[in-house]
């Protein structure tokens, strides 16, 4: 039976006590981590969010009644204990309170507890579905608690930094206009306008630009965003952005304020000094050297373009790639020349999984011989030149991809990361930042058979490329930038177009008719008529940033109540069916399963 | 044509310059407030979010080209000016920069502007629908900018205060479970689970309680909440709560931390010292004295119960009210004895609009006579006793309501506020806080013919009333508290039930079957089995708090992009129709208008 805490007042959290408190009478409250009898003494580990504290129940100190009650304690009972702090005879150096214990005088059981479906312990091995069904128990794990405490601190440091820099926190609405292109918008039916829908924002992009039009100068928000798409390992239907926008600035201003932010954040939260200025690399260089627009620069293994070296070879894979305008590139996996054939075959499969037709490999054995999937098609001269071009020595393994550049980068970029993973080349606490700049403004979509915006349609082209927007749109670079950390894009942004005529040109290149542009972005285009300042912005993905800072493996470990892969919440059992009456009021109906299925089959 | 700002760097915002900068070369950027020729000088008022600064263009200083360009400036053009700060000959004491001006050397027009549909000025008299259609222009008004800057500061002070007090900021999900009782939930269809819906939260109530179950001890969040209901003057479909929950506490702990919060908030934002402890009053006393559970205590005019005085009168209105178990109560509107009959009649109508069948009044004329709607039914003795009981003197106006207590309180509470409004008895900058305590746990719903929770079903009954929960549920008081300010409820909360058996009893009293309780709150009831600490919480309505602190008349003046009364956004034109294809993917369809109408007619 749950007792009341009436008359009691907690004086300390568990680890707020130390040897300095010896002799004091204190009241502590929390959860029983474990409780066991040793001879005539009952030892109880009390847990709260601060840590663990040992309580001892001795009949001569707490009397028979409390002693008997203490004998009934089980894991996860919630208790309140009054007692005296005393030095511990058997010191435990593993916990901060290991030099003291509380000699209990009274005990109240504030709540009993059934045995939890899994133990509350660090680095739980419990199945995720069980953890997420009982997330309120999973959240008791000290590692998850530390993660969420760090997340809280990160948000606090961020807000204070940007406030001090003159950013205003402005809340933007989350019931906004649904746009025809918003295939990934979550929709929200409206009771007051049956048959009409709001959309939940994928980002506050247009609204923060309007705040610049409205003269707010510097805007900041930790904003909830939404995307209704298939969940990859590290995506959530709702996620959080650290979002900002600045007026009367150019690229350098945005980079400057954010480098100072990251420096402060890592210093205050991790005690780590980030060297600034942070390294920068153009998108083009990133792709050429790392096969990725978010390169992990904690290790080398850079891509080498060997197209020239092999251009006269008879190997048909290389030949046809080059003839089709592609390239042949490789990476040197140093010291892996003796990799067993089976593991190499697995790498070939991995490459295929990443879009390659195959993977050419060449192993330089320790004994000076080579083994290769394709050397038989090469002259000894070309093989030698190739090894030289790759900077390889005995004992190295060379992996080559030959295809369109896009595929080559994709395959070797992925292989490079996979090798680093297998060879454990990186440490999570080695934080290497990189600005990626000069992104292409547009990228060709095979699917839509038109150019689409690489960042978004409001991104400013680089002035020096403006004249190419009609003649060679794919070659126009954007004033866009990403900030990457250890192979993750943690933030990105751009200078925005603030000139009506450039914005119209951009929408035209993207295939918008005047009418469609007006329908979709009318309020923004209208706003641009009334005096819009030059402006630029950036947004961080907070979930990922926190994940990297706490060295977790998944953003689900830094979100209090995450959704699982099918976008459902196992704890609340959401989404779920609702009353027909509710839907009636919204002017909508659920389509019978058959009907939906038929449509799908059409 | 919009010029680029390449090569320029803003050195100051407008009001960051003062006489200390005289002689300095500066670069300023902003909007043209107005620009006019006076003789050979062009005077331009430059505006940014900090305020106004005067620019002067003189041909001898800026040369002919820039002078000509300056001649073309219109209101709301965005410009950049390089120039020198100099002392002003004609000082303007009305603005902070009134002692200086910038002598322009160069001018760039960063953006031209069409004439706005309404002038950008303080205290705009523009129609709301026009203001909200062009909200990005409306937001340029200095008064609205100040409001949003103060809002930003309030949020910052709040977050830092609670962080320092050991509260963790935890983000709770907004795609949650829809509950059968959630008639006012916004629903969100799910593409991955066609025909199923999430709900947007009306508050993070259950989730913050689960965080307490999970051991987070002190939780804090500035949380977006949603309610799909008809909008009253000061409601929004999405609104913001300053939300908190604490473990191992009772009422006094919550009040203590929040009094210190309010004290700090008003000191830092307004420079005002709030006297603490803040006055407390039970719900019962509030109703008896002010006819309201959120009394405005900036003025008196308290309700008096005169049932005993008139119990023997023959006035049928009084008589029947008393016989039906109701009461007769009045307020004394001092000094209004000479109120013209027409105005009194308007008050009678006002009372009827608030649920009264009529309003009895008695005016004490300056000459000692009385005029009254009902005195003819009273004996002179009763009339005299009534005047005495009301503490009235010559020149006062007495207003009486006779009905069920609920109606009497409602009518006189509203009349009291209406009289204060008419007589201008209050000042917006006179901040009077009041804790309202000991709310009823339950209130009878005539509509549902059952008791409903006054606060919510997780509110702890007062220990001393627990035994009445079966026999006299309406008399049970709750450990609930509201914090009110000048007649507004700005926050409210309660100690929560942490004992499973009391929670089950509460749900039983509320008419839940075991099955329904499990279906609706299953995950909370389950969580309660695994060790739940005593906990309590409170949430502020941030929009209203900011409104009161900036002395605005509507929460729409403290929200960047508010919705209007029909819950639509005039600027974005949301909500709107969407593609059938999108709905197909969600497994829903819009019902034809006729079908919906028929259903309604059934």
Residue B197 forms contact with A (CB below 8 Å): yes
Residue A464 forms contact with B (CB below 8 Å): no
Q: Which of B134, B171, B188 sits opposite A560 (nearest CB)?
A: B171
Could you tell me how many residues make up chain B? 602
CATH number of residue B99's parent domain: 2.40.50.140
DSSP B273-306: ---SSPPEEEHHHHHHHHSSSS--TTS----EE-
Q: CA–CA separation, A441 vs A144, rounded Å? A: 40
Q: Between β-strands A450-453 and A480-485, what pairing exists: parallel, antiparallel or unpaired?
A: unpaired
pLDDT for res A39:
87
In this structure, are B394 and B440 located in the same domain? no
Nearest to B187 by CA among A365, A587, A432: A587
Q: For residue A30, what are the β-bridge partners? A: A79
Nearest to A250 by CA among A538, A521, A477: A538
Contact B490, B545 (CB under 8 A): yes
Q: How many CB pairs under 8 A join A and B?
A: 384
Q: CA–CA separation, B43 vs B54, rounded Å? A: 7
Q: CA–CA separation, A285 vs A397, rounded Å? A: 24
- Between residues 373 and 412 of chain A, which touch chain B (CB distance below 8 Å)? none
Q: CA–CA separation, A479 vs A348, rounded Å? A: 37
Stretch B107-129: mean pLDDT: 93
Which 3-state string (H, E, C) describes A441-462? CEEEECCCCEEEECCCCCECEC
Residue-wise pLDDT for A262-280, tens only, equals 999 999 999 999 999 999 9
Question: 3-state DSSP call for residue A507?
Answer: helix
pLDDT for res B371:
94
Q: Which residue has the tokens 């043209």?
A: B32
- Give the percent of chain B with pLDDT over 90: 82
Q: Between β-strands B433-437 and B280-282, what pairing exists: parallel, antiparallel or unpaired?
A: parallel
Residue B571 within any structural domain of the chain: no
pLDDT for res B600:
45
Residue scoring higher pLDDT (B425 or B95): B425
B248, B531, B577: best to mutate for the A interface, most A CBs within 10 A:
B531
Q: Which of A78, A522, A588 sits opposite B531 (nearest CB)?
A: A78
- Between residues 320 and 339 of chain A, which touch chain B (CB distance below 8 Å)? none
Residue B259 within any structural domain of the chain: yes
A169 token code pair: 């926190």
- The answer on pLDDT for B601 being more than 50 is no
Of the listed ranges A43-57, A315-329, B173-187, the least confidently predicted one is B173-187
- The answer on pLDDT for A514 being more than 60 is yes
Residue B519 forms contact with A (CB below 8 Å): no
Stretch B264-270: mean pLDDT: 98
pLDDT for res A522:
87
Stretch B403-421: mean pLDDT: 97
Please state the separation of Cα B422 from the chain's center in Å. Answer: 22
Q: Collect all residues of chain B within an 8 Å Cβ-Cβ radius of residue A199.
A: 574
- Give the percent of chain A with pLDDT over 90: 83
Contact B74, B32 (CB under 8 A): yes
CATH number of residue B337's parent domain: 3.30.1360.30
**Is A227 labelled a binding residue?**
yes
Identify the band that residue B598 occupies on the pLDDT scale cut at 50, 70 and 90: very low
Q: CA–CA separation, A383 vs A381, rounded Å? A: 5
Question: 3-state DSSP call for residue B356?
Answer: coil
Say yes or no for a CB contact (<8 Å) between A135 and B10: no
Residue B596 forms contact with A (CB below 8 Å): yes
Nearest CA in chain B to A176: B574
Say yes or no for a CB contact (<8 Å) between A578 and B168: no
Residue A242 forms contact with B (CB below 8 Å): no
In this structure, are A149 and A259 located in the same domain? yes
In this structure, are A105 and A155 located in the same domain? no
Residue B195 forms contact with A (CB below 8 Å): yes
Q: Between β-strands B51-58 and B100-111, what pairing exists: parallel, antiparallel or unpaired?
A: parallel
Nearest to A419 by CA among A369, A487, A318: A487
Cβ-based neighbour number of residue A515 at 10 Å: 9
Residue-wise pLDDT for A526-555, tens only, equals 999 999 999 999 999 999 999 999 999 999
Say yes or no for a CB contact (<8 Å) between B238 and A76: no
**Is A455 labelled a binding residue?**
yes
Q: Collect all residues of chain B within an 8 Å Cβ-Cβ radius of residue A49.
A: 215-217
Residue A199 forms contact with B (CB below 8 Å): yes
Say yes or no for a CB contact (<8 Å) between B238 and A213: no
Q: Collect all residues of chain A within an 8 Å Cβ-Cβ radius of residue B190.
A: 228, 567, 575
Residue B100 within any structural domain of the chain: yes
In this structure, are B514 and B457 located in the same domain? yes
Say yes or no for a CB contact (<8 Å) between B569 and A177: yes
What is the nearest CA distance from A273 to chain B, expressed in angstroms? 24
- The answer on pLDDT for B596 being more than 90 is no
Residue B95 within any structural domain of the chain: yes
What is the nearest CA distance from A95 to chain B, expressed in angstroms? 19
- The answer on pLDDT for A251 being more than 60 is yes
Q: For residue A197, what are the β-bridge partners? A: A189, B576
In this structure, are A442 and A517 located in the same domain? yes
Q: CA–CA separation, A314 vs A292, rounded Å? A: 29
In this structure, are B262 and B191 located in the same domain? yes
Contacts of B18 (CB under 8 A, 6+ apart): B96, B97, B99, B100
In this structure, are A440 and A369 located in the same domain? no
Predicted ipTM? 0.95
Q: Between β-strands B433-437 and B480-485, what pairing exists: parallel, antiparallel or unpaired?
A: antiparallel
Residue B57 within any structural domain of the chain: yes
B248, B500, B521, B594: best to mutate for the A interface, most A CBs within 10 A:
B248
What is the nearest CA distance from B150 to chain A, expressed in angstroms? 9
Q: Collect all residues of chain B within an 8 Å Cβ-Cβ radius of residue A176.
A: 569, 572, 574
What is the nearest CA distance from B510 to chain A, expressed in angstroms? 21
pLDDT for res B318:
95
Contacts of A527 (CB under 8 A, 6+ apart): A210, A213, B136
Say yes or no for a CB contact (<8 Å) between A215 and B49: yes
**Is B329 labelled a binding residue?**
no
Question: In the predicted model, what is the mean pLDDT of chain B?
Answer: 94
Residue B215 forms contact with A (CB below 8 Å): yes
Could you tell me how many residues make up chain A? 602
pLDDT for res B449:
85
Residue-wise pLDDT for A163-219, tens only, equals 999 999 999 999 999 876 656 899 999 999 999 999 999 999 999 999 999 999 999
Q: For residue B330, what are the β-bridge partners? A: B304, B400
Residue A341 forms contact with B (CB below 8 Å): no
Q: How far is CA A142 from CA A48, A558, B300, B564, in A?
A: 9, 12, 54, 46
Identify the band that residue B90 occupies on the pLDDT scale cut at 50, 70 and 90: confident
Q: CA–CA separation, A301 vs A283, rounded Å? A: 18
Contact B476, B440 (CB under 8 A): yes
Stretch A120-126: mean pLDDT: 87
Q: DSSP character for B496?
A: B
Q: Which residue has the tokens 């009349």?
A: B415
Say yes or no for a CB contact (<8 Å) between B215 and A30: yes
Contacts of B136 (CB under 8 A, 6+ apart): A210, A211, A213, A214, A523, A527, A530, B571
Nearest CA in chain B to A518: B572
Q: CA–CA separation, B375 vs B538, rounded Å? A: 48
Cβ-based neighbour number of residue B463 at 10 Å: 10
**Is A164 labelled a binding residue?**
no
Residue A207 forms contact with B (CB below 8 Å): yes
In this structure, are A260 and A311 located in the same domain? no
Say yes or no for a CB contact (<8 Å) between A197 and B577: yes
In this structure, are A272 and A387 located in the same domain? no
- The answer on pLDDT for B602 being more than 50 is no
Stretch B423-446: mean pLDDT: 95
Last residue of a domain, one of B397, B422, B447: B422
Question: 3-state DSSP call for residue B363?
Answer: strand
pLDDT for res A602:
39
In this structure, are A26 and A97 located in the same domain? yes
Contacts of A472 (CB under 8 A, 6+ apart): none
Q: CA–CA separation, A326 vs A324, rounded Å? A: 6
- The answer on pLDDT for A232 being more than 70 is no
**Is A489 labelled a binding residue?**
yes
- The answer on pLDDT for A481 being more than 50 is yes
Q: What are the φ and ψ backbone dihedral angles of B102, each rounded to 5 degrees?
A: -105, 125
pLDDT for res A449:
85
Q: CA–CA separation, A385 vs A347, rounded Å? A: 24
Identify the band that residue A445 occupies on the pLDDT scale cut at 50, 70 and 90: confident
Q: Is the pTM of this model over 0.80?
A: yes
pLDDT for res A437:
97
Q: CA–CA separation, B227 vs B184, rounded Å? A: 6
Rg of chain B over Cα atoms, rounded to whole angstroms, equals 30
Say yes or no for a CB contact (<8 Å) between A238 and B175: yes
Stretch A49-67: mean pLDDT: 96
Q: Which of A48, A136, A175 sits opposite B574 (nearest CB)?
A: A175
Residue A130 within any structural domain of the chain: no
Q: Which residue has the tokens 């009021």?
A: A585
Residue B374 within any structural domain of the chain: yes
Q: Which of B140, B198, B575 sits opposite A215 (nearest CB)?
A: B140
Q: What are the φ and ψ backbone dihedral angles of B228, each rounded to 5 degrees?
A: -95, 80
pLDDT for res A131:
96
Q: CA–CA separation, A549 vs A113, rounded Å? A: 34
Residue B529 forms contact with A (CB below 8 Å): yes
Identify the band that residue A365 occupies on the pLDDT scale cut at 50, 70 and 90: very high
In this structure, are A370 and A447 located in the same domain? no
Q: Which of A111, A134, A195 sits opposite B590 (nearest CB)?
A: A195
Say yes or no for a CB contact (<8 Å) between A192 and B230: yes
Residue scoring higher pLDDT (B308 or B123): B308
Alpha helices by DSSP H, B126-204: 128-133, 135-138, 142-164
Q: CA–CA separation, A409 vs A329, rounded Å? A: 8
Nearest CA in chain A to B581: A183
Q: For residue B493, what are the β-bridge partners? A: B481, B538
Q: Which of B156, B177, B584 sits opposite A574 (nearest CB)?
A: B177
Last residue of a domain, one of B422, B452, B469: B422
Q: CA–CA separation, B322 vs A476, rounded Å? A: 84
Contacts of A134 (CB under 8 A, 6+ apart): A116, A117, A118, A571, B526, B530
Residue A567 within any structural domain of the chain: no
Q: For residue A222, what are the β-bridge partners? A: A242
Q: For residue A36, what are the β-bridge partners? A: A43
pLDDT for res A183:
63
Q: CA–CA separation, A528 vs A512, rounded Å? A: 18
pLDDT for res B599:
45
Nearest to A437 by CA among A304, A250, A245: A250
Stretch B344-354: mean pLDDT: 97
Q: Collect all residues of chain A within an 8 Å Cβ-Cβ radius of residue B195.
A: 577, 590-591, 593, 596
Q: Collect all residues of chain B within an 8 Å Cβ-Cβ radius of residue A599.
A: 584
Q: Collect all residues of chain A within an 8 Å Cβ-Cβ radius of residue B116.
A: 530
Last residue of a domain, one of A422, A454, A474: A422
pLDDT for res A233:
65
Q: Collect all residues of chain A within an 8 Å Cβ-Cβ radius of residue B198.
A: 574-575
Tell me the residue range of the domain where B416 lies. Answer: 299-422
Q: Collect all residues of chain B within an 8 Å Cβ-Cβ radius of residue A28.
A: none
Strands (E), B334-447: 360-364, 370-372, 397-403, 433-437, 442-445
Q: Which of A49, A238, A575 sits opposite B215 (nearest CB)?
A: A49
Q: DSSP character for B115?
A: P
Residue scoring higher pLDDT (B124 or A586): A586
Looking at the structure of chain B, the number of domains it has is 3
Interhelix angle for A251-270 vs A142-164, to 10°?
A: 140
pLDDT for res A31:
98
Stretch B144-166: mean pLDDT: 98
In this structure, are A269 and A177 located in the same domain? yes
**Is A544 labelled a binding residue?**
yes
Q: CA–CA separation, A187 vs A177, rounded Å? A: 9
Identify the band that residue B516 occupies on the pLDDT scale cut at 50, 70 and 90: confident
């Amino acid at each position: 039976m749950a007792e009341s805490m009436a008359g009691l007042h907690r004086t300390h959290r568990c680890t707020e006590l130390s040897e300095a408190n010896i002799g004091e009478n204190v009241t502590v409250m929390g959860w029983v981590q474990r409780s066991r009898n040793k001879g005539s003494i009952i030892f109880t580990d009390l847990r709260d969010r601060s840590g663990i504290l040992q309580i001892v129940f001795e009949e001569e100190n707490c009397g028979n009644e409390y002693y008997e009650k203490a004998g009934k304690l089980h894991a996860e009972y919630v208790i309140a204990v009054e007692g005296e702090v005393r030095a511990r005879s058997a010191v435990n150096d593993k916990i901060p309170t290991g030099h003291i214990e509380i000699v209990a005088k009274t005990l109240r059981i504030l709540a009993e507890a059934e045995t939890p479906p899994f133990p509350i312990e660090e680095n739980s091995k419990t199945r995720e579905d069980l953890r997420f069904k009982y997330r309120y128990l999973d959240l008791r794990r000290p590692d998850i608690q530390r993660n969420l405490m760090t997340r809280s601190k990160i948000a606090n440091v961020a807000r204070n930094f940007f406030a001090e820099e003159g950013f205003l926190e402005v809340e933007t609405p989350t019931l906004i206009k649904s746009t025809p292109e918003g295939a990934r918008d979550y929709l929200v039916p409206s009771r007051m306008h049956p048959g009409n829908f709001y959309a939940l924002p994928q980002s506050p992009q247009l609204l923060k630009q309007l705040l610049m039009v409205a003269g707010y100068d510097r805007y900041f928000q930790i904003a909830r965003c939404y995307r209704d798409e298939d969940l990859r390992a590290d995506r959530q239907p709702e996620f959080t952005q650290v979002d900002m926008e600045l007026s009367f600035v150019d690229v350098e201003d945005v980079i400057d304020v954010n480098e100072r932010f990251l420096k402060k954040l890592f210093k205050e939260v991790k005690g780590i000094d980030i060297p600034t200025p942070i390294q920068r690399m153009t998108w083009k260089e990133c792709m050429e050297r790392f096969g990725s627009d978010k390169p992990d620069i904690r290790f080398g293994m850079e891509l080498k373009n060997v197209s020239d070296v092999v251009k006269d070879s008879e190997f048909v894979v290389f030949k046809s790639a080059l003839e089709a305008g592609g390239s042949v590139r490789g990476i040197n996996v140093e010291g892996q020349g003796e990799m067993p054939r089976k593991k190499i075959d697995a790498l070939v499969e991995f490459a295929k999984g990443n879009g390659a037709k195959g993977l050419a490999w060449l192993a330089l054995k320790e004994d000076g011989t080579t083994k290769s999937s394709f050397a038989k098609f090469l002259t000894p001269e070309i093989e030698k030149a190739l090894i030289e071009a790759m900077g390889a020595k005995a004992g190295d393994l060379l992996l080559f991809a030959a295809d369109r550049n896009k595929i080559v980068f994709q395959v070797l970029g992925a292989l490079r990361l996979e090798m680093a993973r297998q060879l454990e080349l990186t440490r999570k606490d080695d934080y290497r930042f990189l600005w990626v700049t000069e992104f292409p403004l547009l990228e060709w979509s095979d699917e839509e058979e038109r150019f689409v915006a690489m960042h978004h349609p409001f991104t400013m082209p680089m002035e020096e490329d403006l004249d190419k927007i009609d003649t060679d749109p794919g070659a126009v670079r954007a004033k866009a930038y990403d900030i990457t950390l250890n192979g993750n894009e943690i933030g990105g942004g751009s200078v925005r177009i603030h000139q009506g005529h450039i914005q119209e040109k951009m929408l035209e290149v993207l295939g918008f008719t005047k009418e469609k542009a007006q329908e979709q972005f009318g309020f923004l285009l209208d706003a641009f008529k009334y005096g819009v300042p030059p402006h630029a912005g950036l947004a961080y993905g907070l979930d990922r940033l926190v994940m990297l800072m706490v060295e977790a493996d998944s953003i689900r470990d830094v979100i209090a109540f995450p959704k699982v892969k099918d976008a459902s919440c196992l704890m609340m059992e959401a989404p779920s069916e609702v009353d027909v009456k509710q839907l009636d009021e919204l002017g909508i109906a659920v389509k019978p399963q058959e009907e939906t299925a038929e449509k799908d089959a059409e």
